Amino acid sequence: MASLGRRLCCHVIRRAMNLTRVSDSAVLACVQRRDFKKWERPYRSQMYKRRLEVGPEPERPRSAWINWNYDAEIFAFGKRLGEDFDEDILRQAFTHRSYIDKEGRKRAELGFGADLASLELQDNEELTSRGEEVAHRYIQAFLRTSYPYLPEEGIRGICEFLMTEEMLAFIGSNLGLKDLILSEDFPPLESTISKTFFAVIGALCESQSEERAHTFVRDFILPQLIGKDVNEMWEITNPMGLLTDILTAQGHPAPEARLLRESASTTVMSLYWVGIYCNKELIGESPGETVSIAEEMAARESLKNIFRTADYREPLKFGRRGENFEVDFDKVNLSLEEYVKPQQSVRDS
């Protein structure tokens, strides 16, 4: 039986390796043994324990490797993004004040004079300020044009979500900024990466134009809204009260909440479906575990319909769809305070 299994195994291996005229012993010799030597297992176990005791290797910058070429990486960065940067300005965008100070201290410790110790480098503070201003202005204008009925509080909430250090550091790291940044700390902090990202936007303004920087912001920052609910980026403490104030200011009667249907109300899996009516018309509905929760969620759905930010609205225009999308930089949306004013006073203002 064993010899039959051995011959069958050799036949399968011979067919797989296309060894048609090789003997069984030669086929078995070609197959590597899966077991270890007696001395090899304790040796590997000991080496594994030592590796655990030492811990992981510290993260090293990409410049620590022998095949690093900073000039080539700077050139490739712009080409990879499809942008034409001025290389000197782009180098300045990646240079932080902490790096200049560190290199100056090193030269001073080596005994160089004050003139020799100074570096002919410029930090990216000015480019950072320019890039942050351009990005903030374009994001607000884009959101106001895309959501013309959303109050200014919502526009600011979305803008703050996009301009956080965590978000900008995430975008910058995926664009390859981490290895190109010249700073004292490594790995760079989130604040350092976010400032460098703004500096890259400022460098693009200086190298090409502000319109090209707007396209850069539209292509890399604004797409972070895909799959997100913009209504959750700003807080509404009392949605039913706000809905009542808005409808009253528009000359409509106060909204009415009605229980549309319920399911399993006597169990822990209870479900209630509440609708909000105004002028005998359904303006919003939503489910909830309790009647109060369902009423609050229905009020929020009604506000979404008023502000035109419901889930079924047209998606934002990015990429090729956004090439002909004209952004109005002079437009300012109404605030919540203006929303709840009588409609005539809003028109007069």
Is residue 336 a part of any domain in this protein?
Answer: no
Where in the sequence is the domain holding 20, given as residue range(s)? Answer: 2-54
Is residue 162 a part of any domain in this protein?
Answer: yes
User: For position 274, what pLDDT does the model report?
Assistant: 92
For residue 34, the SS3 value is coil
Pairing of strands 281-288, 271-278: antiparallel
Q: Are residues 36 and 93 in the same domain?
A: no
Q: Are residues 195 and 74 in the same domain?
A: yes
Is residue 326 a part of any domain in this protein?
Answer: no
Q: Are residues 170 and 83 in the same domain?
A: yes
Q: Are residues 86 and 217 in the same domain?
A: yes
Q: What angle do CA 118, 124, 129 make, to 5 degrees?
A: 140
Is residue 303 a part of any domain in this protein?
Answer: yes
**How many domains in the chain?**
3
Query: Could you write out the DSSP letters of every residue in 63-116?
Result: GGSTT--HHHHHHHHHHHHT----HHHHHHHHB-HHHHHHHHHHHHHTT--HHH
Q: Are residues 127 and 222 in the same domain?
A: yes
Low-confidence ranges of the chain (pLDDT < 50): 27, 31-32, 116-117, 344-349
User: For position 323, what pLDDT does the model report?
Assistant: 64
User: For position 115, what pLDDT does the model report?
Assistant: 54
Task: Decide if 208 contacts 202 (C-beta within 8 A).
Answer: no
User: For position 348, what pLDDT does the model report?
Assistant: 44
Buried b (16+ CB within 10 A) or exposed e, 166-190: ebbbbbbbebebbbbbbbeebebeb
Q: Are residues 222 and 304 in the same domain?
A: no
Q: Are residues 47 and 183 in the same domain?
A: no
Please list the residues that pair with 274 across neighbouring strands: 259, 286
Q: What angle do CA 177, 178, 181 make, to 5 degrees?
A: 75
pLDDT in tens, 92-127: 899 888 888 887 777 777 776 555 445 677 888 899
Residues in the chain: 349
